[in-house]
């Protein structure tokens, strides 16, 4: 189900089965814990490569913050539509960012990151790009599977 969201709103990632778009107030989301690890910077490189192939340019200067399930409306991740900020669920992110974590989890994290950067670029869920269709068999691109084997 596709529902248009306000251009300046914050769009939930829609990562839970059956969830529809909902909107959160960006002012209510935490911005005091930006994540600036090398892994996040490498994810940005992967996202730029992925979107470059589609001719999509997410806004530069991505900022990644951690939030609780409650803060993120029960979602894995939230992105600023047309902005540059991303919020990841802290507990899930911590597990998936662990270098010793399973490759599949890291590949999913990579896919979610690219998905959220797509929202930053102004794209909505199910907007015609495979990565914007969470839950589809081809959601995780090969570039993320490759990334997961080395991070
Ligand atoms: Zn989404």
Which tens digits make up the pLDDT trace of 4-17? 333 333 444 444 33
Is residue 124's pLDDT more than 70? yes
Span from the CA of 60 to the centroid of ligand 1 (angstroms): 19
Q: Is residue 24 part of a domain?
A: yes
Does any domain span residue 92? yes
Question: Cα(50)–Cα(131) distance, rounded to whole angstroms?
Answer: 9
5 falls within a domain: no
The number of distinct structural domains making up the chain is 1
Q: What is the tens place of the pLDDT at every residue in 70-114?
A: 888 888 899 999 999 999 887 766 666 665 668 888 888 899 999
Say how many Å lie between the CA of residue 90 and the centre of ligand 1.
Answer: 18
Residue at 80 is within a domain: yes
Q: Is residue 93 part of a domain?
A: yes
Residue 59 falls inside a structural domain: yes
Task: Say if CB 103 and CB 150 are below 8 A apart.
Answer: no
Q: Is residue 2 part of a domain?
A: no
**Does a structural domain hold residue 4?**
no
What separation in Å is there between the alpha carbon of 75 and the centre of ligand 1?
10
d(CA 20, ligand 1 centre) in Å: 10
Separation of 142 CA from ligand 1 center, angstroms? 19
3 state DSSP class of 66: strand
Q: Which domain holds residue 127?
A: 10-150
Whole-number Å distance, alpha carbon 124 to ligand 1 midpoint, is 6
**116 alpha carbon – ligand 1 mean position (Å):** 6
Cut 0.75: pTM above it:
yes
- Asked whether 26 and 80 are in contact (CB, 8 A), the reply is yes
- Specify the 3-state DSSP secondary structure of 127: coil
User: Tokens 């209510």 belong to which residue?
Assistant: 28
Confidence of residue 53 (pLDDT cuts 50, 70, 90): very high
> For residue 102, how far is its CA from the centre of ligand 1 (angstroms)?
23
């Amino acid at each position: 189900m596709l529902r248009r969201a306000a251009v300046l709103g914050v769009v939930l990632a829609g990562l839970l089965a059956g969830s529809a778009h909902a909107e959160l107030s960006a002012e209510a989301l935490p911005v005091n814990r930006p994540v600036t690890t090398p892994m996040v910077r490498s994810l940005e490189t992967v996202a730029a490569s992925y979107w470059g192939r589609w001719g999509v340019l997410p806004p530069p200067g991505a900022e990644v913050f951690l939030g609780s399930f409650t803060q993120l409306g029960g979602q894995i991740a939230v992105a600023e539509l047309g902005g540059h900020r991303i919020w990841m669920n802290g507990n899930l992110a911590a597990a998936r960012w662990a270098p010793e974590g399973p490759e599949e989890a890291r590949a999913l994290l990579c896919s979610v990151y690219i998905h959220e950067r797509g929202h930053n670029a102004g794209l909505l869920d199910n907007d015609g790009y495979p990565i914007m269709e969470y839950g589809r068999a081809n959601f995780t691109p090969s570039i993320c599977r490759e990334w997961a084997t080395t991070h």
